[in-house]
Amino acid sequence: MEEEQESQIKVKVSDLTQYLICPRLVYFSARGLEQQGIAKGKERSMIESILLKELAFNLHTIRGMKDDEEDIKRVIEGIVDGVEWIYKEELKGVEKNFFEAVKTDFIRSQSMNVDEWLRKIRNENGLSKLEKAHGGYEREHTMVSVKLGMSGSVDKLIRAGEEVIPCMIKTGKCPEYSVWKSDRVQLAAYAMLIEEEFGTTVKRGFVEYIRSAEFRESQIRRRDKALALQILKRVKRIKGGVFPEKGENAPCDNCVFEEMCETKKTLLSKLFSRR
C-alpha cells in the first residue's frame, strides 16, 4: 500500500537537485511554501545567472563574429532583450530600474573577462561540434515518466542520429575537473527520462558552465543512475510527509524557510519529549 502511494507522488528532476542542496527545501516546497521571487541580497547574482543562461541558448550567434566590441555588445544586448518576459516568474518582485541597471552592466561585460570568455566560446568543443553537425538542439524539452513518477525539462536536447544527448546549462562555479556530483545526478535523471521516451540508451551528456565558458562531457554511469533513483525514493517520502534532516552544507543564512525550519524542529522535539 505504501509503495502504491509512493508511486503516485510526482517528482521533478529539479527536486533531486534541491534535495542535494538541502532535503528540507523539498519538504517546504511540497507543502506549497514555494520560495517567492529572489532571496534578499541575491538579486544581482540571480539576474546575472538568468542573463547568462539566455546567452548560453544563443552562442551560435556569437561564435562567428569578428572582434568588434560594439558589434558584440549589440548582439549580446539583442539576446538578453526580452529576458524579463521569458523569465517573468523568476524575476517576480524585481524592480524594473534595478533589472535594467544589472542588464546594462552585464552588456558592458563587467561581470566577466570578455576577451578570455569569447576566446573559449569560439574554440570548437565536443558540444559545439555536435550542435553544428546535427542542426542545433531542442530547447527545454519536457519529459514525463509514469514508471518513475518523475518529470523534467532538460535545457538542451541534441539528436545525433540514433543518439539522444542531454545538455544542462549551469551559471555557477565550474569544477577544476569533470562535473559536480549534483550535475552527474541530474544528468542521470534526464538520461532515464530520455531512455523511456525515446527507447534508447543514453551514454553521455554535457554540462555547459557558461560563466567560465567550459563545456564538459560526462559519461552516464550506472552508479549515477543508482544514486538518482535512491534520491528519487527519498524525495517521494519527503513529499509524502516525512520531515528530513538538514543537508550537511545547507545554505541556511540565505534560506527563506529558515524560520519555519527551526519552528518545525522545535515542535518535533517537544512532541517526542512527551513520549
% the chain with pLDDT above 90: 55
**39 within 8 A of 254, measured Cβ to Cβ:** yes
Q: pLDDT band for 13, please (50, 70, 90 cuts).
A: very high
* Averaged pLDDT for residues 188-206: 97
Residue 256 lies in a domain: no
Query: Residue 110's pLDDT is what?
Result: 47
pLDDT, position 272: 44
Residues 137, 216 within the same domain: yes
Phi, psi torsion values for 178, nearest 5 degrees: 55, -140
Does residue 120 register a pLDDT over 60?
yes
Does 254 reside within a domain? no
Q: Is residue 234 part of a domain?
A: yes
**Structurally, how many domains does the chain consist of?**
2
The answer to the question of residue 253 being in a domain is: no
Residue 168 lies in a domain: yes
Residues 217 and 182 reside in one and the same domain: yes
Which residues form the domain of 229?
Answer: 2-31+127-239
106 & 134 share domain = no
Percent of the chain with pLDDT over 70: 86
Same domain assignment for residues 185 and 212 = yes
Its pTM stands at 0.88
What pLDDT, on a 0 to 100 scale, did the predictor assign at position 204? 97
Q: What is the pLDDT of residue 183?
A: 97
Say yes or no: 162 and 224 in one domain. yes
Q: Chain centroid to CA 216: how far?
A: 15
pLDDT at position 8 is: 59
- Tens digits of residue pLDDT in 87-118: 988 888 888 899 999 988 887 764 556 778 88
Tell me whether residue 261 is in a domain.
no
* DSSP 8-state assignment for residue 204: E
Residue after which a domain boundary falls, among 100, 125, 150:
125
**Alpha helices (H) along the chain:** 2-8, 13-21, 23-30, 43-56, 60-63, 69-80, 83-86, 96-107, 114-122, 126-133, 181-198, 222-239, 258-273
Comparing 228 with 106, the larger pLDDT belongs to 228
Same domain, 219 and 170: yes
User: 163 and 47 in one domain?
Assistant: no
> Residue 275 above 60 pLDDT?
no
Computed over every residue of the chain, the mean pLDDT equals 86
Q: Are residues 135 and 223 in the same domain?
A: yes
